[in-house]
């Protein structure tokens, strides 16, 4: 039986349909979770998709974290449930404190909509294990507030503990610093995606769901989607054992 994976839909989500499509391709059964729901309907994993959750006129994700469904997502994550936030979903997770760091306005002060490359720092996480290699993985970014920020001490800890899972890289696969052209938003230390200490909640700014089919120019992101689906399948078959972080 295909594993049921929830896709949260805030009124301003606009990548929910794309995410449902990519999960479908990866063999999952996507379940749409309306933002007013107080329960997650027994799904094995949750994706918070991209978009502008409640318009994001104030600051991306700042209102969404107070929605009923996010209370359920927070409880699910505390219990070790798998949660992936993409773009606006990452912003919501960061606002909710479910992943470390903050996402500031792009250093250009302009929206960044372009294809970039990222490299997976680790291939032993529940969000990356199905990738064929570290990359570079080509996929689009599309955001105005994606500049990953944390203080130096926190950044050092994140790196030490293996919580940085994706970084922006240039064509040669080298990490893109805040001022490099290959870094679309000025993220510190080129960080494009992080996970929590337990390894069950992750967020990234680029859009793997838009790079999951060759006809769209890149299928490099599909390994991330497949990793999530496979991890969710394992979690569904052994729910109690899934709490321990990897590494």
Partner 1 sequence: MTVAERPVEPLHRRLGVTDDELVAIRDRLGGRDPNELELAMFSVMWSEHCSYKSSKPLLRTLPIAGEGVVAGPGENAGVISIGDGLAVAFKIESHNHPSAVEPYQGAATGVGGILRDIFTMGARPVAVLDALRFGDPADARTRHLVDGVVRGVGGYGNCVGVPTVGGELVFDPSYGGNPLVNVMAIGLLEERLLTLAAAPGPGNLVVLYGSATGRDGIGGASVLASATFTDDDPSKRPSVQVGDPFAEKLLIEASLELIGRGLVEGLQDLGAGGITCATSETADRAGTGILVDLDAIPRREPGLVPFEVMISESQERMCAAVLPDRWPEVREVCQRWGLPVAIIGRVTDDGDIAIVEGGLDPDGRPNPGAREIARVPASALTSEAIVHDRVAAAPTHRRGAPAPGAPATVSDRLPERGMDPGAVLLALLGSANLSSRRGVFHQYDSTVGADTVAGPGRGAAVLRVRGTTKALVATTDGNQAVGAFDPWLGAALSVAEATRNVSITGARPLGVTNCLNYGDPTRPEAFWQLSEGVRGLADACLALGLPVTGGNVSLYNESPTGAIAPTPEIGVVGLLDDMETLVGPAFGRINDAILLVGVTVPGLAGSAYAGLAGGATEDDPPALDLAREAALQRFIREAIARGLVASAQDISGGGLAVALAEGAMWGGHGATVRIGVSHSPAVELFGESPSRLVVTCRARYAAALELLARQHGQTVETIGSVGGDRLVIELAVGAATGDVEDRGGRVADALDVSVRDLCHAWEHGLSRALGWEG
Task: Indicate if 87 belongs to the active site.
Answer: yes
Part in contact with partner 1 (CB under 8 A); list of ranges 51-59, 122-130, 149-157, 193-201: 51-59
Residues 214-233 interacting with partner 1 (rule: CB under 8 A): 215-217
The residues, any chain, with a CB within 8 Å of residue 73's CB and separated by 6 or more, are 8, 40, 46, 48, 83, 96, 98
111 binds partner 1 (CB under 8 A): yes
Strand partners, 8: 33
Quote the least distance from Cβ 15 to partner 1, whole Å.
Answer: 6
When binding is defined by CB under 8 A, the residue of 140, 199, 203, 223 that contacts partner 1 is: 140
Task: Indicate if 209 belongs to the active site.
Answer: yes
The residues, any chain, with a CB within 8 Å of residue 135's CB and separated by 6 or more, are 117, 118, 119, 120, 169, 173, 220
Residue in 87, 95, 143, 145 annotated catalytic? 87
Task: Name the residue nearer to partner 1 (CB basis): 27 or 97.
Answer: 27
φ, ψ of residue 46 to 5 degrees: the values are: -130, 135
Instruction: Determine the longest span between alpha carbons in the chain, in angstroms.
Output: 47
Distance CA 146, CA 2 (A): 33
Residue closest to 146 by CA, chosen among 185, 98, 175, 114:
185
114 binds partner 1 (CB under 8 A): yes
245 binds partner 1 (CB under 8 A): no
144 binds partner 1 (CB under 8 A): yes
List the structure tokens of 107.
């250093």
212 binds partner 1 (CB under 8 A): yes
Distance CA 243, CA 77 (A): 9
Burial group, residue 32, by CB count within 10 angstroms (0-12, 13-18, 19+): middle
Residue in 74, 95, 143, 207 annotated catalytic? 207
Task: Indicate if 230 belongs to the active site.
Answer: no
Task: Name the residue nearer to partner 1 (CB basis): 54 or 76.
Answer: 54
210 binds partner 1 (CB under 8 A): yes
Part in contact with partner 1 (CB under 8 A); list of ranges 77-85, 109-117, 145-153, 157-165: 109-117
List the structure tokens of 82.
């798998």
Give the interface with partner 1 as residue ranges (CB under 8 A): 11-12, 14-15, 17-18, 21-22, 50-52, 54-57, 110-114, 140, 142, 144, 207, 209-210, 212-213, 215-217
Q: Which sequence positions are flagged as catalytic?
A: 87, 207, 209
């Amino acid at each position: 039986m295909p594993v049921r994976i929830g896709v949260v839909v805030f009124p301003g989500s606009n990548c929910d349909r794309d995410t449902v499509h990519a999960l479908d391709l990866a063999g999952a059964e996507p379940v749409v979770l309306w933002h007013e729901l107080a329960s997650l309907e027994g799904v094995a994993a949750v994706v918070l998709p991209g978009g502008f959750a409640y318009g994001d006129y104030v600051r991306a994700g700042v209102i969404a974290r107070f929605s009923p469904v996010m209370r359920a997502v927070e409880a699910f994550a505390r219990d070790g449930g798998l949660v992936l936030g993409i773009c606006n979903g990452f912003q919501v997770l960061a606002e909710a404190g479910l992943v470390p760091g903050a996402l500031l306005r792009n250093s250009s002060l302009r929206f960044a909509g372009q294809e970039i490359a990222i490299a997976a720092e680790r291939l032993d996480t529940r969000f990356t294990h199905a990738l064929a290699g570290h990359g570079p993985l080509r996929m689009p970014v599309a955001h105005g507030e994606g500049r990953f920020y944390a203080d130096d001490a926190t950044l050092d800890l994140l790196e030490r503990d293996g919580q940085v899972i994706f970084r922006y890289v240039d064509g040669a696969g080298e990490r893109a610093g805040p001022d490099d052209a290959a870094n679309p938003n000025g993220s510190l230390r080129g960080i494009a995606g992080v996970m929590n200490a337990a390894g069950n909640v992750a967020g990234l700014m680029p859009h793997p769901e838009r790079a999951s089919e060759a006809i769209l120019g890149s299928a490099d992101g599909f390994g991330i989607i497949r990793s999530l689906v496979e991890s969710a399948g394992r979690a569904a078959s052994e729910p109690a054992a899934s709490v321990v972080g990897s590494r």
